[in-house]
Structure 1
Amino acid sequence: MGLEKIKEEILQKAAAGEKKILADAAIKAGEIKKKTAEKIKQLENDVEKKFDEEKTSLENKENSLANIESNKIIFETKKDIIENTYKEAFQKIKTMTKKEREQIIHALLEKAKKEITVKVVYANDTDAALIGNSLEIKKAEIDGGIICETEDGRVRVNHTFSEIFENLKEKIMQKTSKISFG
């Protein structure tokens, strides 16, 4: 019966070895499951973080576009107001009294004299009558104001009402644009 005892001993060692191998495998499987769960959790966190970043980025873009559109609408409204104000002011200049018009024409002439040596003045019929006889006056088809020229005709200074208003309107539009759009 010695053989039977050896057989039983071998079977016991095999069973013990099998239990150890299965226990080690169970431990390794548990570690793998734990690491896999951690990786899945990390991936979920990364995806959630990326989603939040993309969402925030998209919201920021939408807000920026809305702000730009809002600024554009405000700018266009201001532009319309400036245009209407310009037209009203230009109409008022056309209907001012003779005395007011004469003061403005003389002020424009003095301004031109500070810029160039004025020899010739271009003006419409109404304003030409207000200038006097000390300068050569030539008739011009302008809404009002004057264009002054040097004796040799090489330099002109445009102080017509339309030019003054256009320059003023342009400056106001630039300031408005700068305020509206930075």
Structure 2
Amino acid sequence: MGLETVVKDIMDTAEADVSKIKAETDSEVLQIIEEAKDNAKRILGESLAKAEDDIKKMRQQEISSANLEVKRTLLNARKEILEEVYNSAFGTVSSLSEAKNKELLSAIITKNEAQGKKIFSNAKSEKLVRELSSLEYAGNIDCAGGVIIENEEGNIRLDYTYDVILKSVNERSLKQTSDILFG
């Protein structure tokens, strides 16, 4: 019986050790599983936060891009309207009545002919310019109206064509025109 008792004691001790090791292993496994779950939750949370942040950035970029496109379209539309206004004004100047054309040419010539020797105009205004000016008529130019006055040497030209005057006025008052049209 002594041997059976020793074997039984060894077996009991071995079973107790196995149970203890199994319990420790189960505890470690549970701890590892809990840590893995916590890590998974943390990684998932970080991934969701990053994804939300990326979505916010993308949304902001899309909004900014759309706003920029709207501004570009608006500016292009305004530019087209301003060009239409300029073209309309040019058309009006190009088709001035004979009386209004005579009034403008007379004012330009009276104020500036002392600075030159020769005068140019478009073919339509040639007869009128010859009547209004004491300068030598030097020929026709391609313009909507007005005159060019040149000195004797031909190295100084004063351009008082309606084209140049209108362009100058347009450039100087572009902001005012824009403010009037678009507020």
With the length of structure 1 as denominator, give the TM-score of the two structures.
0.72
Distance 1:11 1:77, change over 3 A: same
Greater displacement, 63-72 / 97-106: 97-106
Partner residue of 1:120 out of 110, 115, 118: 118
Per-residue Cα deviation, 1:91-115 (whole angstroms, up to 9, x for no partner): 32234455644554466569979xx
Q: How does 1:84-163 map to 2 (within 5 A)?
A: 84-97=84-97, 100-102=100-102, 104-105=104-105, 118-125=116-123, 126=125, 128-129=129-130, 132-133=133-134, 135-139=135-139, 140-163=141-164
What are the ranges of 5 or more consecutive residues in structure 1 without an aligned counterpart? 177-182
Say whether residues 1:76 and 2:76 are aligned partners.
yes
Q: Judging changes above 3 Å, is the alpha-carbon distance between structure 1 residues 157 and 21 closer, same or farther for their aligned structure 2 residues? A: farther
1:137 is paired with a residue of what secondary structure?
A: strand
Residue aligning to 1:23? 23
Cα separation, partners in 2 of 1:104 and 1:53, compared to 1, 3 Å: farther
Write the mapping of 1:38-53 to structure 2, written as runs, cut at 5 A: 38-53=38-53
- Percent identity between matched residues is 23
Secondary structure, aligned partner of 2:137: strand
CA offset digits 1:109-155 (Å, max 9, x no partner): 69979xxx64433222526247521x443232321123343443334
Alpha-carbon distance in 1 for matches of 2:93, 2:131: 15
Whether the 8 Å CA contact 1:105–1:130 is kept in 2: the answer is no
C-alpha distance in 2 between matches for 1:149 and 1:58: 63
Q: Is the 8 A contact 2:119 2:149 kept in 1?
A: yes
Query: Cα gap change, 1:129/1:63 in structure 2, threshold over 3 Å: closer, same or farther?
Result: farther
Do the aligned residues in 2 keep the contact of 1:119 with 1:148 (CA within 8 Å)? yes
TM-score (norm 2): 0.71
Ranked by relative contact order (alpha carbons within 8 Å, sequence separation 6 or more), the top structure is 1
Q: Aligned pair count?
A: 171
Q: Which runs of 5+ in 2 are unaligned?
A: 179-183
